[in-house]
Structure 1
């Protein structure tokens, strides 16, 4: 029982038990790394990429075998150092934390920091509720509010150990990055089980069998609805026992697979919850996070701060996403089954096929006839380049093509391609002026379909993707001169002519022109009118500003990691002033006078926050404080913070400054201030390089951007799963959707995506531009509030039509 041993003794035993549980099956981590690397090797890729993956796999086979043992040794050594919940400086800090020197940080250190932060965030996301219970039990024993930041129980410290041991056995950070997604899952599962077993161990010793939720629930100040607000600290703990939905870095992940609260011997699955943390206040003003985590982790953790209004969210949570959305189309499977019945072996692609000589000549004649009919001048009375005339022309020569075929497979392919293009050329939603160019793709498509029968069943075939992308950009916009303008029509014409010019290259030429067409679409829909150009420019500034804010926060944390600064001042610099720095750099340039003024205010604030022990120092503070506060207020205004938010931030900051004025704060030496000043003056040179990317943990602060001319989607939708997040990444410029937002239903088009597709901009017919962050975009897809205008792609719909006709008359395949 808990009463039979000292609190420190029980915690030390729990820490040792936790470490043993974590390392008892680390072989699973090695297996996950090996399997993930093997899967990458099997994927088709360019020669250089494929070779790099093979080298990585061999590297894992040579070195990774020592990783589990090294990890176990490091963890046991860490625990044997004898840290306790009350310690604030331990061996972990000296051995694992990034050392801050007055020098440029090398790329490997930056990469390591980012990898550790992402892993830490993933571990917290997976283990939120188990850690919450463990935190509550440890707090009960120690009578402390929280676990110490350097304690081995903390997910960020486990993350550091995992990466440190990985590098110690000779494995590279690039290898980890390549396997990152699978490693996050494997490490998270291992930590989840270790937390669970440790909770059960503590319960067996009488430590808090039932976790009380009430200490974690508080009322949100100033909130009109008076709804309760969940007090979740930035480390991911503090959630309610028994709630199933995990508060992830973007509020989307499913929760712990184990029920928590009362512990027995078995795990029990949890049900789906209704938590929507993306509606929180954003990262600014959130609780502080431990040194070593990135600002991305801070933003993600702080997003989990508010329970939703259940009345407002009920419709979102109960309205299912369209059944087909995000799921593979069954049409390909139906086609394969049908062809196997009617023509066994049709899909065999073990050896390349080419059209027989007679068929190739017949196809060239048909192609020449179609091209001639399209390109005749309109004044020619014999010319009728309408879709129906082209279709009639091809039908007239359909029998000739079949007669020229040398095998049943060729005749079947001719029939199938004819049925596909019959459906495409009679699709009323395609503008008639463009259908004639689709008609000219029939013979090139027939050639590639003969060589590769999987064209019919694989939606990823480049010939199908090209037709689908061309259709998606123009479908349903008949007569819309702003969309179907001469640049887009000219590009479609060029694409078709390139395919015609290289009839023997088949798949390769389709893939090449598809890549070129995608690049064209990115620029075309971004720049095709003044409204979208302006909106895209704003969205790019938002992205640049948010990226810089994260980078500034990372560097500020490094600068202040060894400097005695009040928590209120730290929070202000990390959560508020980093964003002010970013805003100033985007608007005025990184080396502008405005940025220098903002950097100088940070130095001035640090000086003011040091203990003032003499009358002269206090008089100097009184003299310098008013202009400093005015500069801080002006900076927050430029960053878009509301007056209320500014007042709250300055109120919290004043408490820290009052402690310094009363000599209750720790002194900052002149040498430390000079060093900080020098680093702040060159902070832009220390930021992560241009390869730095936003990850899915950051949270867009919509309140700061609405005034800039963008409508930022800040609420609505339902909790998306991994499938919907993946679908959000697969959306492409030019695709059209029906959007239901704030009581308005309208058709919108995707016109821009940011780096890593974390931001997506849509433009409506009325010129309104709407900006989504990926998590919110996935939430709208999940709830059916953003529905694709096309229920299925052009070629999928055509294949469905062909299946119906073949099943009705199978003889036409060989006739």
Structure 2
């Protein structure tokens, strides 16, 4: 039923109030864009990334000042037409037969992806305020849902923000590069604006008390009974998935389908000519989508209820499966930021139920009674595991996860009884919830879960003394649990590969060290975390049979490529002022430097093989000098066949294909023909002698420090495949700066699913080279796959290399704890 005129007027006033409050924030957004661009520009980076960052800074400096004005104009124009939209009846569903269909271009797709991520980022920050605001607006408008183009929808606001950005002359690529700064700058003040609009509406008599129970629907379509608002689970983002729909506009308890795996909640999509077909006005349902969506709910109804339909953008003409995979990777790339969002949301929930939770300034160690109870609980855990060394019970199979959980609950009751303050009782409950989630994680081998269980009391002790444990993902206690979890999850066959290995022994040692220093807190966790990181490097390199040989080969590849670059640099110096044919120069720099490096790695820098390669370089330079006498030409004819044989052997030693060898010899023949006919420039005997001497001591001229391999360097896979490595030389999609950064931040031991050369296989990151430019992954069958960083980022971008762990162990446990606290807040103090 349409709203009355008085209500419509009040709604228009609220929208105007909202718009004017927003406009006041726009200049700060522009300032944040400039500051973010400057921060990125000042960070050290590879040459390609550094150039992209300079371009972004210049783009913001040239056009950024226009953005606030463009955005304010768009917002005010949108508000000026809102009255007609508010009173208009919703349009009837469009039939596919009546739509003017067209292909969606790539720019539109990228635009809509950025809009979706901005809307989700804003929603993640202020979901509680928005839920209250939306309830008041719907009550005021007397409608079941906000209109599709209502400014109060986060998707509409995000659309206007991005459109104003491009209208100002700013590039979408610049937005992508600065997205982390921009989303944060936009999201934080909007929560305050929503709060002010809520206050304004209350002052005008609109729903002083908000109860959203009537909006929550069970699976059978009925509404829930009235209850407290803080028990309503809000819609939120997930680090494990990126939502397709505008979750801010769905009912508070209506989660959007997750974009995970190879399936889609939206069903198949039809394509024409490689692109997706949709209505020309952007409002129609994609071909093939309506039926699938309609079949999703009971009785064939819309599975989203009164919520929005999924967006209609599909990446680059691929299927929804491809978009899902792509957007999931983008979500994972921002895992650190999303972990912060989860923890911040957790803090907000806790502050509602336990005022003062965020105030960490008055934190104190555990009370004497609780400390004694923790010591007794720890002693029982140690005895249960067969004593301090972990023999006995664990060796015989140890307690089952069910037994561990039962005893965790019993400990929880005893510890709460010993707690002397509400804060201590709440902390006991929170840590218990975290470890309950960890101990039910089936991807951790059952025999190892007892060692994670033994970390509960040390973690509880540090959580009481250092409440920032709950607010930051970087706390060493969290990081230690996450790193150990990542290294034991993802194994096939229940983790048999890790049981009985030095990795299992190191996990036991780490736990025992933490137990031995119960009062050291953060320092002991940080110490053992550092030790564990160092252990992993040596473990995969020296003790793991599946990865040891592959790492040795990868190190040789890195050494060879680094030497090749060094040789090239020195050869360029040597030939800088020497009149040498360009074909000879190119051969020396691009081919023979690699031959020199390969010989040095395989046989040693002073070996006979290296001396032969150096002598061939001197001989080639002599042959390429102009020959003006009959004797010199006769000498060339005599010495050329063995020289060509040596050159062929050298090129074969580095795995150069026969066709490439032929092309190189043809290029050299042109230079040698010019020299033979005296058309080439003459190199004096003194210059030749000096070149020969310097080539003989070229290894001594190489710099002692490692040469940095940047992204402009491309690894030639054909030179190494015969060495037992699979070097990834193609595949994936063009990565952006965020993906390159993600590739550089991957941690040893993390497990992934790799799709390469027709095989889907679980692999584990076992080695990273200098500056993380090379990364080696090992499979359970011993297969070793080597990536250069840019190619690794390309595979991550395309979803061909997918983390088996969507988010860290403690972040996933925190998310579960949030849900349980919302369902039963009384458990915190009970």
TM-score past 0.5 threshold: yes
Say whether 1:326 aligns with 2:338. Answer: no
Q: Which residue of 2 aligns with 1:773?
A: 788
For 1:420 and 1:800, how far apart are their aligned partners in 2? 9
Match 2:607 to one of 551, 572, 592:
592
> 1:273-328 CA deviation, whole Å, 9 max, x = no partner?
9xxxxxxxxxxxxxxxxxxxxxxxxxxxxxxxxxxxx99x9759865141531112
Q: Which residue of 2 aligns with 1:460?
A: 474
Whether the 8 Å CA contact 1:122–1:188 is kept in 2: the answer is: no
Say whether 1:645 aligns with 2:660. Answer: yes
For 2:693 and 2:513, how far apart are their aligned partners in 1? 58
Whether the 8 Å CA contact 2:773–2:789 is kept in 1: the answer is: yes
Counterparts in 2 of 1:521 and 1:669: CA distance versus 1, 3 Å: same
For 1:741 and 1:805, how far apart are their aligned partners in 2? 40
Q: Which residue of 1 aligns with 2:438?
A: 424
Say whether 1:498 aligns with 2:528. Answer: no
Counterparts in 2 of 1:438 and 1:586: CA distance versus 1, 3 Å: same
For 1:518 and 1:650, how far apart are their aligned partners in 2? 49
Counterparts in 2 of 1:119 and 1:472: CA distance versus 1, 3 Å: closer
Say whether 1:474 aligns with 2:488. Answer: yes
> 1:123-148 CA deviation, whole Å, 9 max, x = no partner?
7x55xxxxxxxxxxxxxxxxxxxxxx
CA apart distance, 1:537: 1.3
Counterparts in 2 of 1:503 and 1:620: CA distance versus 1, 3 Å: same
Q: Which residue of 2 aligns with 1:441?
A: 455
Give secondary structure in 1 for the equivalent of 2:755: strand
Counterparts in 2 of 1:121 and 1:363: CA distance versus 1, 3 Å: closer
Q: Which residue of 2 aligns with 1:295?
A: none
Say whether 1:356 aligns with 2:370. Answer: no
Whether the 8 Å CA contact 1:424–1:798 is kept in 2: the answer is: yes
Give secondary structure in 2 for the equivalent of 1:748: strand
For 2:409 and 2:707, how far apart are their aligned partners in 1? 55
> 1:180-211 CA deviation, whole Å, 9 max, x = no partner?
xxxxx4499669999xxxxxxxxxxxxxxxxx
Say whether 1:808 aligns with 2:823. Answer: yes
Match 1:339 to one of 350, 354, 360:
350
For 2:472 and 2:641, how far apart are their aligned partners in 1? 68
Q: Which residue of 2 aligns with 1:633?
A: 648
Give secondary structure in 1 for the equivalent of 2:706: coil
Whether the 8 Å CA contact 1:366–1:394 is kept in 2: the answer is: no
1:755-766 → structure 2 map (5 Å cutoff) = 755-766=770-781
Whether the 8 Å CA contact 1:636–1:646 is kept in 2: the answer is: yes
Give secondary structure in 2 for the equivalent of 1:320: helix
Q: Which residue of 1 aligns with 2:222?
A: none
> 1:331-390 CA deviation, whole Å, 9 max, x = no partner?
212212111211222122335531122221221111112112222675899997333323
* Range with bigger deviation, 744-753 or 775-784: 744-753
For the pair shown, the structure with the greater C-alpha radius of gyration is 2
Counterparts in 2 of 1:422 and 1:550: CA distance versus 1, 3 Å: same
For 1:588 and 1:772, how far apart are their aligned partners in 2? 26
1:86-235 → structure 2 map (5 Å cutoff) = 126=52, 185-186=53-54
For 2:47 and 2:490, how far apart are their aligned partners in 1? 46
Coordinate RMSD, CA, aligned? 3.5
Give secondary structure in 2 for the equivalent of 1:751: strand
* Range with bigger deviation, 391-400 or 371-380: 371-380
Q: How many residues align?
A: 547
1:398-797 → structure 2 map (5 Å cutoff) = 398-477=412-491, 479-797=494-812
For 1:334 and 1:458, how far apart are their aligned partners in 2? 12
CA apart distance, 1:580: 0.4
> 1:728-782 CA deviation, whole Å, 9 max, x = no partner?
1121222111111122111111121111111111122232211111111111111
CA apart distance, 1:398: 2.1
> 1:47-86 CA deviation, whole Å, 9 max, x = no partner?
xxxxxxxxxxxxxxxxxxxxxxxxxxxxxxxxxxxxxxxx
CA apart distance, 1:530: 3.8
For 1:788 and 1:429, how far apart are their aligned partners in 2? 14
Q: Which residue of 2 aligns with 1:286?
A: none
CA apart distance, 1:669: 1.2
Counterparts in 2 of 1:400 and 1:271: CA distance versus 1, 3 Å: closer
1:57-76 → structure 2 map (5 Å cutoff) = none
For 1:383 and 1:645, how far apart are their aligned partners in 2? 59
> 1:539-581 CA deviation, whole Å, 9 max, x = no partner?
1111111110001001111111111111111000000000000
Q: Which residue of 2 aligns with 1:279?
A: none
Whether the 8 Å CA contact 1:391–1:439 is kept in 2: the answer is: no
For 2:751 and 2:394, how far apart are their aligned partners in 1? 37
CA apart distance, 1:441: 0.3
Q: Which residue of 1 aligns with 2:404?
A: 390
Name stretches of at least 5 consecutive residues in structure 1 with no aligned partner.
1-30, 41-114, 127-184, 195-241, 246-265, 274-309
For 1:706 and 1:314, how far apart are their aligned partners in 2? 34
Whether the 8 Å CA contact 2:408–2:436 is kept in 1: the answer is: no
Counterparts in 2 of 1:654 and 1:543: CA distance versus 1, 3 Å: same
Counterparts in 2 of 1:653 and 1:369: CA distance versus 1, 3 Å: same
Whether the 8 Å CA contact 1:738–1:745 is kept in 2: the answer is: yes
Whether the 8 Å CA contact 2:562–2:706 is kept in 1: the answer is: no
Whether the 8 Å CA contact 2:498–2:504 is kept in 1: the answer is: no
CA apart distance, 1:394: 3.3
* Range with bigger deviation, 374-383 or 483-492: 374-383
For 2:737 and 2:743, how far apart are their aligned partners in 1? 10
For 1:594 and 1:520, how far apart are their aligned partners in 2? 37
CA apart distance, 1:587: 0.6
* Range with bigger deviation, 723-732 or 580-589: 723-732
CA apart distance, 1:712: 1.1
* Range with bigger deviation, 543-552 or 365-374: 365-374
For 1:320 and 1:39, how far apart are their aligned partners in 2? 29
Match 1:370 to one of 372, 381, 392:
381
Give secondary structure in 2 for the equivalent of 1:689: coil
Scaled by the length of structure 1, what TM-score is found? 0.62
> 1:147-169 CA deviation, whole Å, 9 max, x = no partner?
xxxxxxxxxxxxxxxxxxxxxxx
Give secondary structure in 2 for the equivalent of 1:495: helix
CA apart distance, 1:691: 3.4
Higher relative contact order (CA 8 A, sep 6+): 1
For 1:631 and 1:381, how far apart are their aligned partners in 2? 61
> 1:480-510 CA deviation, whole Å, 9 max, x = no partner?
4333333222111110000011111111111
Scaled by the length of structure 2, what TM-score is found? 0.61
